[in-house]
Protein backbone atom coordinates (compact mmCIF):
# COMPACT_ATOMS: atom_id res chain seq x y z
CA UNK A 1 0.00 0.00 0.00
CA UNK A 2 1.18 3.51 -0.76
CA UNK A 3 2.67 5.40 2.16
CA UNK A 4 1.53 8.78 0.85
CA UNK A 5 -1.49 9.41 -1.32
CA UNK A 6 -2.21 12.89 -2.56
CA UNK A 7 -5.62 13.09 -4.21
CA UNK A 8 -6.91 15.97 -6.33
CA UNK A 9 -5.32 18.73 -4.28
CA UNK A 10 -6.50 22.22 -5.19
CA UNK A 11 -5.16 25.46 -3.80
CA UNK A 12 -5.98 29.02 -4.69
CA UNK A 13 -4.96 32.32 -3.19
CA UNK A 14 -7.92 34.57 -3.87
CA UNK A 15 -8.49 34.34 -7.60
CA UNK A 16 -5.04 32.85 -8.35
CA UNK A 17 -5.24 29.13 -8.89
CA UNK A 18 -1.91 27.80 -7.68
CA UNK A 19 -2.54 24.06 -7.54
CA UNK A 20 -5.06 22.23 -9.68
CA UNK A 21 -5.96 18.59 -9.40
CA UNK A 22 -2.62 17.39 -8.02
CA UNK A 23 -2.60 13.62 -7.47
CA UNK A 24 0.29 11.23 -6.89
CA UNK A 25 1.30 8.54 -4.51
CA UNK A 26 4.53 7.12 -3.20
CA UNK A 27 5.77 4.03 -1.41
CA UNK A 28 7.81 3.87 1.75
CA UNK A 29 11.52 4.19 0.96
CA UNK A 30 10.97 5.97 -2.33
CA UNK A 31 12.37 9.31 -3.41
CA UNK A 32 10.12 11.48 -5.55
CA UNK A 33 11.50 14.52 -7.34
CA UNK A 34 9.41 17.46 -8.40
CA UNK A 35 10.68 19.78 -11.11
CA UNK A 36 9.03 22.72 -12.82
CA UNK A 37 9.52 26.35 -13.62
CA UNK A 38 9.25 29.19 -11.15
CA UNK A 39 5.71 29.82 -9.99
CA UNK A 40 4.47 26.37 -10.99
CA UNK A 41 3.32 25.65 -7.41
CA UNK A 42 6.06 23.31 -6.13
CA UNK A 43 6.62 25.16 -2.87
CA UNK A 44 2.89 25.52 -2.31
CA UNK A 45 2.47 21.76 -2.71
CA UNK A 46 5.12 21.05 -0.07
CA UNK A 47 3.57 23.65 2.20
CA UNK A 48 0.19 21.95 1.86
CA UNK A 49 1.73 18.61 2.84
CA UNK A 50 3.30 20.24 5.90
CA UNK A 51 0.05 21.97 6.89
CA UNK A 52 1.52 25.42 6.41
CA UNK A 53 -1.19 26.01 3.81
CA UNK A 54 -4.65 24.56 3.79
CA UNK A 55 -5.70 23.15 0.43
CA UNK A 56 -9.09 24.21 -0.94
CA UNK A 57 -9.80 20.77 -2.28
CA UNK A 58 -8.57 17.19 -2.21
CA UNK A 59 -7.26 14.64 0.25
CA UNK A 60 -3.95 13.73 1.83
CA UNK A 61 -3.50 10.23 3.20
CA UNK A 62 -0.52 8.77 4.99
CA UNK A 63 -0.37 5.02 5.57
CA UNK A 64 -4.07 4.79 4.69
CA UNK A 65 -5.07 7.34 7.34
CA UNK A 66 -6.85 10.39 5.95
CA UNK A 67 -4.88 13.34 7.32
CA UNK A 68 -6.72 15.94 5.38
CA UNK A 69 -9.97 15.95 3.47
CA UNK A 70 -11.19 19.28 2.18
CA UNK A 71 -14.66 17.84 1.57
CA UNK A 72 -15.03 17.15 5.30
CA UNK A 73 -14.64 20.90 5.76
CA UNK A 74 -13.29 20.37 9.25
CA UNK A 75 -11.34 23.02 11.12
CA UNK A 76 -8.48 21.34 12.93
CA UNK A 77 -7.32 22.41 16.35
CA UNK A 78 -3.69 23.47 16.72
CA UNK A 79 -2.98 20.22 18.54
CA UNK A 80 -4.43 18.13 15.69
CA UNK A 81 -2.41 20.00 13.10
CA UNK A 82 0.75 19.42 15.12
CA UNK A 83 0.08 15.68 15.18
CA UNK A 84 -0.50 15.61 11.43
CA UNK A 85 2.60 17.66 10.73
CA UNK A 86 4.80 15.13 12.46
CA UNK A 87 4.33 12.75 9.53
CA UNK A 88 6.27 15.22 7.40
CA UNK A 89 9.54 17.06 7.67
CA UNK A 90 10.48 20.10 5.63
CA UNK A 91 13.88 21.42 4.63
CA UNK A 92 13.60 25.02 3.46
CA UNK A 93 15.45 26.67 0.63
CA UNK A 94 16.72 29.32 3.07
CA UNK A 95 17.55 26.84 5.89
CA UNK A 96 15.72 28.82 8.59
CA UNK A 97 18.10 27.66 11.30
CA UNK A 98 17.53 29.20 14.73
CA UNK A 99 20.38 31.73 15.01
CA UNK A 100 20.67 31.72 18.81
CA UNK A 101 21.27 27.97 18.99
CA UNK A 102 24.33 25.94 18.06
CA UNK A 103 24.12 23.30 15.34
CA UNK A 104 23.52 20.60 17.93
CA UNK A 105 20.96 22.67 19.82
CA UNK A 106 19.11 23.33 16.55
CA UNK A 107 18.87 19.59 15.98
CA UNK A 108 17.86 18.72 19.55
CA UNK A 109 15.42 21.54 20.30
CA UNK A 110 12.23 20.02 18.91
CA UNK A 111 12.83 16.49 20.32
CA UNK A 112 13.62 18.04 23.70
CA UNK A 113 10.46 20.12 23.71
CA UNK A 114 8.40 17.11 22.69
CA UNK A 115 9.95 15.03 25.50
CA UNK A 116 9.39 17.86 27.96
CA UNK A 117 5.72 17.95 27.07
CA UNK A 118 5.44 14.22 27.69
CA UNK A 119 7.34 14.66 30.94
CA UNK A 120 10.09 12.27 29.83
CA UNK A 121 12.89 14.76 29.21
CA UNK A 122 14.95 13.55 32.20
CA UNK A 123 15.03 9.98 30.89
CA UNK A 124 15.48 10.92 27.24
CA UNK A 125 17.92 13.80 27.60
CA UNK A 126 21.08 11.82 26.90
CA UNK A 127 19.52 9.79 24.14
CA UNK A 128 18.27 12.91 22.36
CA UNK A 129 21.71 14.49 22.48
CA UNK A 130 23.42 11.35 21.23
CA UNK A 131 20.95 11.03 18.39
CA UNK A 132 21.57 14.67 17.48
CA UNK A 133 25.32 14.09 17.47
CA UNK A 134 24.90 10.98 15.36
CA UNK A 135 22.77 12.83 12.82
CA UNK A 136 25.28 15.67 12.55
CA UNK A 137 28.09 13.15 12.13
CA UNK A 138 26.10 11.51 9.40
CA UNK A 139 25.88 14.95 7.74
CA UNK A 140 29.68 15.27 7.97
CA UNK A 141 29.52 17.94 10.66
CA UNK A 142 31.24 16.24 13.62
CA UNK A 143 33.53 19.23 14.10
CA UNK A 144 30.81 21.84 13.76
CA UNK A 145 28.30 20.80 16.42
CA UNK A 146 29.08 23.69 18.75
CA UNK A 147 29.03 26.37 16.05
CA UNK A 148 26.28 28.93 15.65
CA UNK A 149 24.60 29.25 12.24
CA UNK A 150 26.39 32.51 11.40
CA UNK A 151 29.69 30.67 11.82
CA UNK A 152 28.72 28.06 9.23
CA UNK A 153 28.78 28.09 5.44
CA UNK A 154 25.52 27.83 3.53
CA UNK A 155 26.18 24.19 2.73
CA UNK A 156 26.88 23.41 6.37
CA UNK A 157 23.73 25.27 7.45
CA UNK A 158 21.63 23.27 5.05
CA UNK A 159 23.10 20.02 6.35
CA UNK A 160 22.26 21.09 9.91
CA UNK A 161 18.72 21.82 8.71
CA UNK A 162 18.51 18.32 7.23
CA UNK A 163 19.70 16.78 10.50
CA UNK A 164 17.18 18.92 12.39
CA UNK A 165 14.32 17.65 10.21
CA UNK A 166 15.49 14.04 10.57
CA UNK A 167 15.62 14.37 14.35
CA UNK A 168 11.82 14.31 14.49
CA UNK A 169 11.81 11.06 12.50
CA UNK A 170 9.24 12.09 9.91
CA UNK A 171 7.67 9.46 7.68
CA UNK A 172 8.32 11.66 4.66
CA UNK A 173 11.03 14.28 4.39
CA UNK A 174 10.37 17.15 1.99
CA UNK A 175 13.08 19.31 0.46
CA UNK A 176 12.24 22.65 -1.15
CA UNK A 177 15.09 23.46 -3.52
CA UNK A 178 17.68 22.64 -0.86
CA UNK A 179 20.59 23.92 -2.93
CA UNK A 180 19.08 26.97 -4.63
CA UNK A 181 20.36 29.42 -2.03
CA UNK A 182 23.89 28.01 -2.14
CA UNK A 183 26.99 29.02 -4.04
CA UNK A 184 27.57 26.50 -6.84
CA UNK A 185 30.65 25.03 -5.18
CA UNK A 186 28.59 24.19 -2.07
CA UNK A 187 25.70 22.40 -3.75
CA UNK A 188 27.72 19.20 -4.11
CA UNK A 189 28.10 18.57 -0.38
CA UNK A 190 24.36 18.95 0.20
CA UNK A 191 23.38 16.80 -2.77
CA UNK A 192 25.80 14.17 -1.50
CA UNK A 193 24.04 13.84 1.85
CA UNK A 194 20.62 13.74 0.20
CA UNK A 195 21.94 11.04 -2.10
CA UNK A 196 23.16 9.03 0.88
CA UNK A 197 19.71 9.39 2.47
CA UNK A 198 18.17 8.04 -0.71
CA UNK A 199 20.57 5.11 -0.64
CA UNK A 200 19.43 4.42 2.93
CA UNK A 201 15.84 4.41 1.62
CA UNK A 202 14.64 7.52 3.38
CA UNK A 203 11.22 8.45 2.03
CA UNK A 204 11.66 11.85 0.43
CA UNK A 205 10.03 14.41 -1.83
CA UNK A 206 12.66 16.65 -3.39
CA UNK A 207 11.80 19.82 -5.24
CA UNK A 208 14.89 20.71 -7.23
CA UNK A 209 16.31 22.43 -10.27
CA UNK A 210 19.22 19.97 -10.38
CA UNK A 211 18.05 17.82 -13.28
CA UNK A 212 20.94 15.37 -13.29
CA UNK A 213 20.51 14.85 -9.57
CA UNK A 214 16.76 14.33 -9.86
CA UNK A 215 17.27 11.80 -12.61
CA UNK A 216 19.88 9.80 -10.71
CA UNK A 217 18.39 9.85 -7.23
CA UNK A 218 14.63 9.80 -7.67
CA UNK A 219 12.49 6.72 -8.14
CA UNK A 220 9.71 8.84 -9.58
CA UNK A 221 9.72 12.26 -11.18
CA UNK A 222 6.95 14.81 -11.41
CA UNK A 223 7.03 17.77 -13.77
CA UNK A 224 4.70 20.59 -12.79
CA UNK A 225 3.63 23.59 -14.79
CA UNK A 226 0.96 26.18 -14.08
CA UNK A 227 -0.16 24.38 -10.93
CA UNK A 228 -0.73 21.05 -12.65
CA UNK A 229 1.20 17.82 -12.99
CA UNK A 230 2.01 17.78 -16.69
CA UNK A 231 4.11 14.67 -16.85
CA UNK A 232 5.25 12.08 -14.32
CA UNK A 233 6.99 8.74 -14.29
CA UNK A 234 10.40 7.14 -14.35
CA UNK A 235 12.97 9.96 -14.03
CA UNK A 236 15.16 8.71 -16.87
CA UNK A 237 12.19 8.43 -19.18
CA UNK A 238 10.80 11.86 -18.34
CA UNK A 239 14.11 13.72 -18.49
CA UNK A 240 15.72 11.90 -21.41
CA UNK A 241 12.60 11.32 -23.40
CA UNK A 242 9.82 13.74 -22.47
CA UNK A 243 6.44 13.22 -24.11
CA UNK A 244 4.74 16.54 -23.45
CA UNK A 245 5.57 19.72 -25.32
CA UNK A 246 5.78 21.78 -22.12
CA UNK A 247 8.21 19.30 -20.53
CA UNK A 248 10.42 19.48 -23.60
CA UNK A 249 10.45 23.27 -23.53
CA UNK A 250 11.25 23.31 -19.83
CA UNK A 251 14.04 20.75 -20.11
CA UNK A 252 15.53 22.52 -23.08
CA UNK A 253 16.29 25.41 -20.75
CA UNK A 254 18.35 23.15 -18.50
CA UNK A 255 21.30 21.07 -19.44
CA UNK A 256 20.45 17.65 -18.10
CA UNK A 257 24.16 16.98 -17.63
CA UNK B 1 25.25 72.02 54.34
CA UNK B 2 26.54 69.66 51.65
CA UNK B 3 25.76 66.62 53.80
CA UNK B 4 22.30 67.97 54.54
CA UNK B 5 21.58 68.53 50.86
CA UNK B 6 22.95 65.12 49.94
CA UNK B 7 20.73 63.38 52.45
CA UNK B 8 17.70 65.29 51.29
CA UNK B 9 18.42 64.56 47.64
CA UNK B 10 19.03 60.91 48.41
CA UNK B 11 15.58 60.72 49.96
CA UNK B 12 14.11 62.27 46.82
CA UNK B 13 16.18 60.02 44.63
CA UNK B 14 14.94 57.00 46.56
CA UNK B 15 11.43 57.92 45.48
CA UNK B 16 12.60 58.49 41.89
CA UNK B 17 14.32 55.12 41.88
CA UNK B 18 11.32 53.34 43.35
CA UNK B 19 9.03 54.81 40.71
CA UNK B 20 11.54 53.93 37.99
CA UNK B 21 12.04 50.31 39.03
CA UNK B 22 8.40 49.54 39.71
CA UNK B 23 7.35 51.14 36.41
CA UNK B 24 9.78 48.89 34.55
CA UNK B 25 8.77 45.76 36.46
CA UNK B 26 5.16 46.34 35.44
CA UNK B 27 5.55 47.98 32.03
CA UNK B 28 7.96 45.52 30.39
CA UNK B 29 5.76 42.41 30.74
CA UNK B 30 2.55 44.42 30.35
CA UNK B 31 3.96 45.97 27.19
CA UNK B 32 4.61 42.50 25.79
CA UNK B 33 1.01 41.49 26.41
CA UNK B 34 -0.30 44.75 24.96
CA UNK B 35 1.80 44.08 21.87
CA UNK B 36 0.17 40.65 21.55
CA UNK B 37 -3.19 42.38 21.81
CA UNK B 38 -2.28 44.92 19.14
CA UNK B 39 -1.37 42.06 16.78
CA UNK B 40 -4.32 39.84 17.68
CA UNK B 41 -6.21 38.11 14.90
CA UNK B 42 -9.42 39.16 16.64
CA UNK B 43 -10.47 42.64 15.55
CA UNK B 44 -12.43 42.99 18.80
CA UNK B 45 -9.15 42.76 20.70
CA UNK B 46 -6.87 44.49 18.22
CA UNK B 47 -8.78 47.72 17.68
CA UNK B 48 -9.51 48.62 21.32
CA UNK B 49 -5.84 47.98 22.15
CA UNK B 50 -4.66 50.12 19.26
CA UNK B 51 -7.05 52.86 20.36
CA UNK B 52 -5.59 52.70 23.86
CA UNK B 53 -2.04 52.92 22.50
CA UNK B 54 -2.99 55.86 20.34
CA UNK B 55 -4.58 57.77 23.23
CA UNK B 56 -1.76 57.07 25.66
CA UNK B 57 1.02 57.88 23.22
CA UNK B 58 -0.86 60.81 21.74
CA UNK B 59 -1.38 62.75 24.99
CA UNK B 60 1.16 64.13 27.47
CA UNK B 61 2.19 61.97 30.38
CA UNK B 62 1.70 65.04 32.56
CA UNK B 63 -1.96 65.14 31.60
CA UNK B 64 -2.35 61.42 32.26
CA UNK B 65 -0.85 61.83 35.72
CA UNK B 66 -3.34 64.54 36.59
CA UNK B 67 -6.29 62.61 35.22
CA UNK B 68 -5.30 59.37 36.92
CA UNK B 69 -4.88 61.11 40.24
CA UNK B 70 -7.84 63.49 40.27
CA UNK B 71 -10.15 61.64 37.89
CA UNK B 72 -11.54 58.98 40.22
CA UNK B 73 -12.34 61.49 42.99
CA UNK B 74 -13.99 64.04 40.75
CA UNK B 75 -15.63 61.87 38.10
CA UNK B 76 -16.59 58.87 40.19
CA UNK B 77 -16.92 60.77 43.44
CA UNK B 78 -14.62 58.23 45.02
CA UNK B 79 -10.97 59.06 45.56
CA UNK B 80 -9.58 55.55 45.29
CA UNK B 81 -6.05 56.81 46.01
CA UNK B 82 -6.76 58.08 49.51
CA UNK B 83 -5.09 61.24 50.71
CA UNK B 84 -1.62 60.14 51.79
CA UNK B 85 1.75 59.93 50.04
CA UNK B 86 1.21 56.30 49.27
CA UNK B 87 -1.95 57.02 47.35
CA UNK B 88 -0.22 59.67 45.28
CA UNK B 89 2.64 57.31 44.57
CA UNK B 90 0.24 54.55 43.53
CA UNK B 91 -1.56 56.90 41.14
CA UNK B 92 1.76 57.99 39.64
CA UNK B 93 2.88 54.39 39.27
CA UNK B 94 -0.31 53.40 37.45
CA UNK B 95 0.03 56.33 35.06
CA UNK B 96 3.72 55.66 34.40
CA UNK B 97 3.27 51.91 34.00
CA UNK B 98 0.41 52.30 31.54
CA UNK B 99 2.17 55.02 29.59
CA UNK B 100 5.45 53.15 29.29
CA UNK B 101 3.83 49.80 28.56
CA UNK B 102 2.18 51.38 25.53
CA UNK B 103 5.52 52.72 24.29
CA UNK B 104 7.21 49.39 24.99
CA UNK B 105 4.39 47.50 23.26
CA UNK B 106 5.05 49.35 20.02
CA UNK B 107 8.75 48.52 20.24
CA UNK B 108 7.90 44.87 20.93
CA UNK B 109 5.48 44.81 18.03
CA UNK B 110 8.09 46.21 15.67
CA UNK B 111 10.61 43.67 16.93
CA UNK B 112 8.25 40.73 16.70
CA UNK B 113 7.12 41.67 13.21
CA UNK B 114 10.71 42.00 12.02
CA UNK B 115 11.43 38.31 12.66
CA UNK B 116 11.21 36.39 9.36
CA UNK B 117 8.18 34.17 8.91
CA UNK B 118 10.55 31.27 8.18
CA UNK B 119 11.59 31.16 11.85
CA UNK B 120 8.01 30.41 12.89
CA UNK B 121 7.45 27.95 10.07
CA UNK B 122 10.67 26.07 10.87
CA UNK B 123 9.38 25.63 14.42
CA UNK B 124 5.87 24.63 13.37
CA UNK B 125 7.00 21.96 10.90
CA UNK B 126 9.07 20.44 13.70
CA UNK B 127 5.83 20.01 15.64
CA UNK B 128 6.26 22.88 18.08
CA UNK B 129 3.31 24.76 19.54
CA UNK B 130 2.81 28.47 18.99
CA UNK B 131 3.91 29.08 22.56
CA UNK B 132 7.06 27.00 22.20
CA UNK B 133 7.95 28.78 18.98
CA UNK B 134 7.46 32.17 20.60
CA UNK B 135 9.24 31.56 23.89
CA UNK B 136 12.02 29.28 22.63
CA UNK B 137 12.77 30.74 19.21
CA UNK B 138 11.32 34.18 18.60
CA UNK B 139 11.65 36.02 21.91
CA UNK B 140 15.43 36.09 22.22
CA UNK B 141 15.78 37.26 18.63
CA UNK B 142 13.26 40.01 19.36
CA UNK B 143 15.12 41.03 22.52
CA UNK B 144 18.37 41.27 20.60
CA UNK B 145 16.75 43.62 18.12
CA UNK B 146 14.95 45.82 20.61
CA UNK B 147 17.67 46.39 23.19
CA UNK B 148 18.75 49.69 21.57
CA UNK B 149 15.26 51.26 21.28
CA UNK B 150 14.16 49.93 24.68
CA UNK B 151 17.25 51.33 26.36
CA UNK B 152 16.43 54.70 24.84
CA UNK B 153 12.95 54.57 26.36
CA UNK B 154 14.31 53.45 29.71
CA UNK B 155 16.73 56.34 29.88
CA UNK B 156 13.88 58.68 29.03
CA UNK B 157 11.93 57.12 31.89
CA UNK B 158 14.70 58.02 34.35
CA UNK B 159 14.12 61.67 33.55
CA UNK B 160 10.33 61.44 33.11
CA UNK B 161 9.90 60.31 36.72
CA UNK B 162 10.35 63.97 37.67
CA UNK B 163 6.90 64.64 36.22
CA UNK B 164 5.38 62.82 39.19
CA UNK B 165 5.83 65.97 41.26
CA UNK B 166 2.76 67.40 39.55
CA UNK B 167 0.69 65.23 41.84
CA UNK B 168 3.02 65.96 44.75
CA UNK B 169 5.17 62.86 44.64
CA UNK B 170 8.31 64.00 46.43
CA UNK B 171 11.00 63.12 43.90
CA UNK B 172 14.56 64.37 43.63
CA UNK B 173 14.06 67.65 41.74
CA UNK B 174 11.47 68.66 44.27
CA UNK B 175 13.93 68.02 47.07
CA UNK B 176 16.55 70.09 45.25
CA UNK B 177 14.16 72.93 44.54
CA UNK B 178 13.09 73.10 48.17
CA UNK B 179 16.51 74.58 49.00
CA UNK B 180 15.84 77.62 46.81
CA UNK B 181 13.04 78.65 49.08
CA UNK B 182 14.49 77.51 52.38
CA UNK B 183 18.15 78.50 51.95
CA UNK B 184 18.27 80.66 48.83
CA UNK B 185 20.79 78.36 47.13
CA UNK B 186 20.57 76.92 43.63
CA UNK B 187 23.47 74.49 43.53
CA UNK B 188 21.35 71.61 44.90
CA UNK B 189 19.49 71.72 41.58
CA UNK B 190 22.73 71.19 39.68
CA UNK B 191 23.48 68.46 42.14
CA UNK B 192 20.26 66.65 41.19
CA UNK B 193 21.56 66.72 37.61
CA UNK B 194 24.61 64.80 38.78
CA UNK B 195 22.35 62.08 40.19
CA UNK B 196 20.58 61.77 36.85
CA UNK B 197 23.85 61.73 34.92
CA UNK B 198 25.43 59.05 37.08
CA UNK B 199 22.33 56.90 37.00
CA UNK B 200 21.77 57.14 33.25
CA UNK B 201 25.49 56.56 32.78
CA UNK B 202 25.25 53.32 34.74
CA UNK B 203 22.23 52.25 32.68
CA UNK B 204 24.08 53.00 29.45
CA UNK B 205 26.93 50.74 30.57
CA UNK B 206 24.45 48.03 31.54
CA UNK B 207 22.72 48.13 28.15
CA UNK B 208 26.07 47.95 26.41
CA UNK B 209 26.83 44.83 28.39
CA UNK B 210 23.50 43.30 27.41
CA UNK B 211 24.14 44.11 23.76
CA UNK B 212 27.57 42.51 24.03
CA UNK B 213 26.09 39.45 25.67
CA UNK B 214 23.66 38.99 22.80
CA UNK B 215 26.42 39.42 20.25
CA UNK B 216 27.10 35.69 20.19
CA UNK B 217 24.50 35.18 17.48
CA UNK B 218 23.54 37.10 14.40
N1 LIG C 1 0.69 33.37 0.09
C2 LIG C 1 0.47 33.58 -1.23
N3 LIG C 1 -0.44 34.47 -1.64
C4 LIG C 1 -0.69 34.68 -2.94
N5 LIG C 1 -0.08 34.03 -3.93
C6 LIG C 1 0.85 33.13 -3.60
C7 LIG C 1 1.18 32.84 -2.23
N8 LIG C 1 2.13 31.89 -2.20
C9 LIG C 1 2.39 31.60 -3.48
N10 LIG C 1 1.62 32.32 -4.33
C11 LIG C 1 1.63 32.24 -5.79
O12 LIG C 1 1.49 30.90 -6.13
C13 LIG C 1 2.24 30.57 -7.29
C14 LIG C 1 3.08 29.37 -7.04
O15 LIG C 1 4.06 29.69 -6.08
P16 LIG C 1 5.11 28.63 -5.55
O17 LIG C 1 6.00 29.35 -4.60
O18 LIG C 1 4.42 27.45 -5.07
O19 LIG C 1 5.93 28.29 -6.86
P20 LIG C 1 7.26 27.45 -7.04
O21 LIG C 1 6.98 26.40 -8.06
O22 LIG C 1 7.76 27.00 -5.73
O23 LIG C 1 8.27 28.51 -7.66
P24 LIG C 1 9.84 28.71 -7.45
O25 LIG C 1 10.52 27.74 -8.36
O26 LIG C 1 10.08 30.12 -7.84
O27 LIG C 1 10.13 28.46 -6.00
C28 LIG C 1 3.01 31.82 -7.66
O29 LIG C 1 2.34 32.45 -8.71
C30 LIG C 1 2.94 32.65 -6.41
O31 LIG C 1 2.95 34.02 -6.73
MG1 LIG D 1 9.46 27.43 -4.60
Residues A82, B216: C-beta atoms closer than 8 Å: no
Whether residue A256 is predicted with pLDDT greater than 60 in this model: the reply is no
- How far apart (Å, rounded) are the C-alpha atoms in residues B174 and B168? 9
Measured in Å, how far apart are chain B's first and last C-alpha atoms? 53
Arithmetic mean of pLDDT, A159-167: 98
- CA-based nearest distance B214→chain A, Å: 9
- CB atoms < 10 A from the CB of A234, how many? 14
Q: How far apart are CA A57 and CA B38, in angstroms?
A: 33
The domain spans of chain B are 2-217
Cβ atoms within 10 A of the Cβ of B145, count? 17
**Are the C-beta atoms of A31 and A221 separated by less than 8 Å?**
no
Question: Which stretch of A59-63, A226-230, A249-253 has the lowest confidence by average pLDDT?
Answer: A249-253
Average pLDDT for chain B: 93
Query: In chain A, pLDDT over 90 holds for what percent of residues?
Result: 93
Residue of B nearest to A48 (CA): B125
- The CA distance from B139 to B142, in Å, is 5
pLDDT of residue A195: 96
Signed CA dihedral, A139, A145, A147, A148: sign only = positive
**The ligand 1 atom nearest the CA atom of A14:** 4
- Looking at residue A1, its pLDDT comes to 78
Task: Please name the helix (run of DSSP H) or strand (run of DSSP E) that holds residue A25, with its range, or none.
Answer: strand A16-26
User: Distance, CA A43 to ligand 1 centroid (Å)?
Assistant: 7
What backbone phi and psi angles, to 5 degrees, belong to A30? -90, 155
A100·B127 Cβ contact <8 A: no
Nearest alpha-carbon partner for B156 in B187, B200, B90 = B200
Residue B78 clears pLDDT 80, i.e. is over it: no
pLDDT at A255: 60
Has residue B39 got a pLDDT over 50? Answer: yes
**Given a cut of 50, is residue B135 above it in pLDDT?**
yes
Interchain contact B206–A (C-beta under 8 A): no
As a whole number, the mean pLDDT across chain A is 95
Gap from A37 CA to chain B (nearest CA, Å) = 22
Helix (H, G, I), strand (E, B) or coil at A27: coil
- Chain A positions touching B131 (Cβ under 8 A) are none
The CA A40 to ligand 1 mean position distance, Å, reads 7
Say what the alpha-carbon torsion angle A37, A38, A41, A46 is, to the nearest 10 degrees: 100
Q: Give me the residue from A100, A114, A148 closest to B127, CB to CB.
A: A114
Task: Give the SS3 label for residue A86.
Answer: coil
CA dihedral B109, B110, B113, B116 (to 10 degrees): -140
Between positions 118 and 157 of B, the ones with CB within 8 A of A are: 118-119, 121-130, 132, 136-137, 140-141, 144
Looking at the complex, report in whole angstroms how far the Cα of residue A89 sits from the nearest Cα belonging to chain B. 6
Residue-wise pLDDT tens digits, A46-89:
999 999 999 999 999 999 999 999 988 888 898 999 999 999 99
Q: What is the per-residue pLDDT for B73?
A: 81
**What CA–CA distances, in Å, run from B46 to A141, B34, B35, B102?**
46, 9, 9, 14
DSSP per position, A191-233: HHHHHHHHHTT--EEEE-S-HHHHHHH-SEEEEEETTEEEEEE
> Which of B122, B128, B140 is closest, CB to CB, to A100?
B140
What's this model's pTM, rounded to 2 decimal places? 0.90
Angle A138-A140-A144 from CA coordinates, rounded to 5°: 115
Among A43, A47, A81, A96, the residue to mutate for chain B (most B Cβ within 10 A): A96
User: Are B217 and A99 an interchain contact pair (Cβ–Cβ within 8 Å)?
Assistant: yes
Tell me whether residue A12 is exposed, middle or buried, using C-beta atoms within 10 angstroms of its C-beta: 0 to 12, 13 to 18, 19 or more: middle
What is the rounded average pLDDT of the residues A7-12? 96
| Average pLDDT of span B5-23 | 90
pLDDT band, very low/low/confident/very high, at A204 (cuts 50, 70, 90):
very high
For A148, the closest chain B residue by CA position comes to B217
Residue whose Cα lies nearest atom 17 of ligand 1: it is A43
The predicted structure's pLDDT at residue B86: 83
Question: In which band, very low, low, confident or very high, does the pLDDT at B171 lie, cut at 50, 70 and 90?
Answer: confident
From the CA of A209, the nearest ligand is 1
Residues of B in contact with A96 (CB under 8 A): 116, 118-119, 121-122
- Mean pLDDT, residues A195-211: 96
Up-side HSE of residue A82: CA atoms within 13 Å toward CB? 16
Q: How far apart are CA A1 and CA A3, in angstroms?
A: 6
Rounded Cα distance, B48 and A248, in Å? 57
> Which ligand is located closest to the Cα atom of residue A39?
1
Distance from CA of B152 to the nearest CA of A (A): 24
Determine the average pLDDT of the residues in B138-144.
96
CB-based contact B125 A114, cutoff 8 Å: no
pLDDT interval class at A257 (50, 70, 90):
very low
Instruction: Give the CATH superfamily of A1-87+172-257.
Output: P-loop containing nucleotide triphosphate hydrolases (3.40.50.300)
Instruction: Report, at the CATH architecture level, how domain B2-217 is classified.
Output: Orthogonal Bundle (1.10)
Atom of ligand 1 nearest to the CA of A209: 25
Domain spans in chain A, listed from the N-terminal domain onward: 1-87+172-257, 96-169
Residues of chain A that touch chain B, judged by Cβ-Cβ distance less than 8 Å: 50-52, 78, 82, 85-86, 88-90, 92, 94, 96-100, 109-110, 113-114, 148-150, 164-165, 168
Q: How far apart are CA B188 and CA A254, in angstroms?
A: 80
> Are the Cβ atoms of A52 and B125 closer than 8 angstroms?
yes
Do you know the residue count of chain B?
A: 218
Residue B68 to residue B52: CA distance in whole angstroms: 15
Q: Beta A204-207 vs A16-26: how paired, if at all?
A: unpaired
Amino acid sequence: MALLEVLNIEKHFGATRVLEDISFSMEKGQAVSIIGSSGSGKTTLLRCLNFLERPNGGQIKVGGEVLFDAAAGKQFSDAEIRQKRLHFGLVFQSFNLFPQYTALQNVCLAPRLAAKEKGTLRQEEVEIRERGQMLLEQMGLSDRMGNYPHQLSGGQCQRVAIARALAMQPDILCFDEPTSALDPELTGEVLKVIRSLAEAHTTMIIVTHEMAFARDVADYLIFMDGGRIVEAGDPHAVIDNPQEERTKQFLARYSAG
Amino acid sequence: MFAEVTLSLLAGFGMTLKLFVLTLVIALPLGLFISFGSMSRLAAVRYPIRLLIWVIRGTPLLLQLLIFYYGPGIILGNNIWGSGDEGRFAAALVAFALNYSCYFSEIFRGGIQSIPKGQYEAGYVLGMTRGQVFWQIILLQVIKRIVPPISNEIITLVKDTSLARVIAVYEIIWSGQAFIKSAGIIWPLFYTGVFYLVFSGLLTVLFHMIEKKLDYFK
